Amino acid sequence: MSVAILRTGDYLVASIQSDLSDPEVLALRDELLERVGRLRALGIVIDVAALDVIDSFAARALCSIALTAKLRGARTVVVGVQPDVAIAMVHFQLNLEPLHTALDLDEAVALLERETRRKRPDGG
C-alpha cells in the first residue's frame, strides 16, 4: 500500500501516494482506525492530492473512516482534492457527509485544533 501514515501531535496524517485498489482502501481504513485507538489520536488528515479519481467505493470508505473515527473520538479532514476530481464528484453526486475538507494540511490542522479545543474539558 502506498500510503504514508505519520503521527504529528494528537493527529494522524495519511498521505496517499498513488491510486489505491479497493483492498488497499479497506486496509488503509482499518489501519487508520486501529491507530486512532492505539495512539489516542484526536484527528485524522487524509491527503488525496495524488488521486486522479475518487470513485464511489473510495468515497464511501472515506465516509466510513470519518464516521467510525468520530465514534472513537477523532475527527477526519480530507485535503488536496484536485479541481477535476471535485468536479467529477459533484457531477456523479457523490455524498461525502460527514467528511470535512480543507485545501491543505495547514488548514486541516487549524480546523482540527478548533474542533478538538471545543471537545476538551479544559478548553485547550
In our burial notation (b when 16+ CB lie closer than 10 A, e otherwise), range 27-51 reads ebbeebbebbeeeebbbbbbbbeeb
Domains of the chain, CATH where assigned = 3-119 (3.30.750.24)
pTM for the full predicted model: 0.90
Model pLDDT, residue 46: 97
The pLDDT > 90 percentage for the chain reads: 76
Please give the Cα distance from 46 to 79 (Å, whole number): 6
Do residues 29 and 64 lie in contact, with contact meaning Cβ atoms separated by under 8 Å? yes
Q: Which three cell numbers stand for residue 78?
A: 480530507
Structural element, H or E, at residue 22: helix 22-39
The predicted-structure confidence for 71-116, as pLDDT tens digits, reads as follows 999 999 999 999 999 999 888 888 788 889 999 999 999 999 998 8
Mean pLDDT of 15-23: 93
